[in-house]
């Protein structure tokens, strides 16, 4: 038996990320416009960095609270009061080492090996992979795509629920499609979960990136105390902190000891000086987040208007999240197309094959960048598309 084959089958079978594969192919090329991963072009703002550096210099380098420092849990509670109009005491909040780790902890908390979790596809690939590594099974339910718009079919979700189903994973606004659930969608999904005794894992990390209004509808708007909803979230996108790897969970306080234990036996908590940066992001970062949202809206318009005008791309402007998900006439293999596009135009896109059933023919472009750069990317892509 080879060394690799002696590892756990679950670990060996975890797929290489189809996004990272293309990034690795062309990373670091001159003049590259990297729209392939979900991050903006700005580094973390200085007021956040300073708070972390001050804490580091002051010797905040010891083990810390598993659930997060009290100041950060309070800042999260205040953030929800400001932006979601809801009063959630600090006992609801748990600080994690990224949104991705929030998902891992939620998966561990909700599922046992052999259990099923229903999620909507096309989807960010990490949810299914995290689940399979934990020994549970991901059951994809496709969103409908018509006239450039994505929509959920609730009967299809209901039909996917079996006695083994433990949870529904709902990412709204969605990466990569931009599909954004209405309040009514969320109420119906919650109704399904209540009827079948399921958990909802709510990934609303793009809730503030909602272009028709202030924020997207949230399960917080429709749920009641006692509902089994666990939110996974992240500092990555709002505050330009992708490299920090800090996120959080919002969960019923009754789950507190279980979540604390899962954190203890994974990271044992997020570095305290980084949590100080996160406190500054929440308490002083409203203007920065708003500037990011405004930039995303302008850049979305530039990219989508230009691509739609070619008459060779099926897409509408997404209502939410940070991505244009493009079906280009003539593209039959999005992995090959992503490689060809980066070779010929220097624009890095993520292939739709990475996002599971329903996404195969699409390419994803992240538009959280300076509008001038997005204009250049749009010009190069339109040129390429019109020559196809
Ligand atoms: C839908 C969704 N959930 C969670 C995450 C995780 O974010 P992070 O691990 O950077 O905090 C991402 C990142 O792209 C995402 O798109």
Q: Which CATH number belongs to the domain containing residue 229 in this structure?
A: 3.40.640.10
Atom of ligand 1 nearest to the CA of 247: 11
Domain end, chosen from 215, 250, 284, is at 284
Do 122 and 90 share a domain, yes or no? yes
What proportion of the chain, given as a percentage, has pLDDT over 90? 95
Residues 82 and 200 in one domain: yes
If one counts the domains in the chain, the total is 2
231 within some domain: yes
Does residue 294 carry a pLDDT above 90?
yes
Instruction: pLDDT band for 316, please (50, 70, 90 cuts).
Output: confident
User: Taking the CA of residue 172 as centre, how many other CA atoms within 13 Å lie in the half-sphere pointing to its CB?
Assistant: 26
- 341 occurs within a structural domain: yes
Q: Identify whether residues 326 and 195 lie together within a single domain.
A: no
Q: Which of 284, 310, 345 marks a domain boundary?
A: 284
- Residues 267, 351 within the same domain: no
102 Cα: distance to centroid of ligand 1 (angstroms): 9
Residue 388: what pLDDT?
A: 87
Q: What is the pTM of this model?
A: 0.96
Supply the range of the domain harboring residue 240.
Answer: 58-284
Q: Do both 267 and 332 map to the same domain?
A: no
Query: Are residues 349 and 266 part of one domain?
Result: no
Q: Are 307 and 381 in contact (CB under 8 A)?
A: yes
Q: What per-residue confidence (pLDDT) applies to 307?
A: 97
Ligand 1 atom with the smallest distance to the CA of 101 is 9
Q: How confident is the model at residue 315 (pLDDT cuts 50, 70, 90)?
A: confident
**Among the listed ranges 43-52, 64-73, 113-122, 146-155, which one has the minimum average pLDDT value?**
146-155
26 has a pLDDT exceeding 80 = yes
Percent of the chain past pLDDT 70, that is, above it, reads 100
Averaged pLDDT for residues 182-189: 97
339-374 pLDDT tens trace:
999 999 999 999 999 999 999 999 999 999 999 999
Pocket test for ligand 1, best of 100, 101, 169, 172 (most atoms within 8 A of CB): 100
Average pLDDT of the chain is 96
11 part of a folded domain? yes
358 within domain boundaries: yes
User: Residue whose CA is closest, atom 6 of ligand 1?
Assistant: 99
Q: Which atom of ligand 1 is nearest to the CA of 235?
A: 11
pLDDT of residue 358: 92
Question: Which residue owns the Cα nearest ligand 1 atom 4?
Answer: 99
Residues 141 and 175 in one domain: yes
246 CA: nearest ligand 1 atom? 11
CA of 100 to the centre of ligand 1 (A): 6
pLDDT at 16 over 90: no
Atom of ligand 1 nearest to the CA of 171: 1
The reply to whether 166 and 260 lie within a common domain is: yes
Residue range 126-143: average pLDDT? 95
Structure tokens of 330? 């003539």
Q: Identify which of 23, 96, 126 to mutate to test ligand 1's pocket (most ligand atoms within 8 A of the CB).
A: 126
Does residue 52 lie within any of the structural domains? no
Query: Using 50, 70 and 90 to split pLDDT, how confident is the model at 145?
Result: very high
Nearest CA to ligand 1 atom 16: 175
Q: Which of 284, 313, 344 is the last residue of a domain?
A: 284
- pLDDT tens-digit map of 190-232: 999 999 999 999 999 999 999 999 999 999 999 999 999 999 9
In a domain, 50, yes or no: no
| pLDDT value of position 1 | 75
Q: How far apart are CA 382 and CA 370, in angstroms?
A: 18
CA of 38 to the centre of ligand 1 (A): 8
Region 122-151 average pLDDT: 94
Domain check: are 189 and 84 in the same one? yes
pLDDT score at 147: 84
Binding pocket residue ranges, ligand 1, CB within 6 Å:
38, 98-100, 124, 171, 175, 203, 205, 234, 236, 242, 247
Cα 99 to ligand 1 centre (Å): 5
Rounded to the nearest angstrom, the distance between the alpha carbon of 178 and the centre of ligand 1 is: 14
């Amino acid at each position: 038996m080879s060394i690799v084959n002696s590892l756990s089958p679950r670990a060996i079978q975890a797929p290489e990320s189809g996004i990272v594969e293309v990034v690795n192919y062309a990373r670091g090329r001159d003049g590259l416009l990297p729209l392939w991963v979900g991050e903006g072009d700005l580094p973390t703002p200085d007021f956040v960095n300073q708070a972390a550096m001050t804490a580091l210099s002051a010797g905040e380098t010891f083990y810390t609270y598993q659930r997060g420092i009290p100041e950060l849990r309070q800042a999260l509670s205040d953030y929800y009061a400001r932006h979601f109009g809801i009063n959630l005491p600090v006992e609801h909040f748990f600080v994690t080492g990224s949104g991705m780790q929030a998902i891992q902890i939620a998966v561990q908390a909700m599922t046992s090996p052999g259990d099923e979790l229903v999620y909507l596809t096309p989807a960010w690939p990490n949810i299914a992979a995290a689940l399979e590594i934990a020994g549970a099974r991901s059951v994809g339910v496709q969103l409908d795509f018509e006239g450039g718009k994505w929509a959920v079919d609730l009967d299809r979700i209901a039909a996917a629920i079996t006695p083994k189903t433990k949870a529904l994973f709902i990412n709204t606004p969605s990466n990569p499609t931009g599909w954004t659930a209405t309040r009514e969608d969320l109420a119906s999904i919650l109704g399904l979960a209540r009827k079948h005794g399921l958990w909802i894992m709510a990934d609303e990390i793009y809730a503030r990136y909602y272009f028709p209004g202030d924020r997207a509808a949230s399960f917080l708007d429709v749920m009641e105390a006692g509902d089994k909803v666990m939110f996974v979230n992240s500092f990555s996108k709002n505050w330009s902190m992708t490299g920090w790897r800090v996120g959080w969970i919002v969960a019923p306080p009754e789950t507190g000891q279980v979540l604390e234990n899962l954190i203890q036996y994974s990271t044992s908590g997020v570095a305290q000086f980084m949590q100080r940066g996160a406190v500054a992001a929440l308490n002083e970062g409203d203007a920065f987040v708003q500037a990011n949202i405004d930039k995303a809206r302008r850049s979305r318009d530039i990219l989508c208007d230009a691509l739609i005008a070619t008459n060779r791309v099926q897409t509408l402007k997404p209502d939410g999240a940070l991505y244009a998900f493009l079906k280009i006439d003539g593209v039959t293999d999005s992995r090959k197309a992503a490689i060809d596009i980066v070779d010929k135009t220097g624009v890095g896109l993520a292939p739709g094959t990475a996002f599971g059933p329903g996404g195969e023919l699409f390419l994803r472009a992240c538009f959280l960048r300076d509008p001038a750069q997005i204009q250049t990317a749009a010009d190069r892509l339109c040129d390429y598309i019109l020559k196809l």
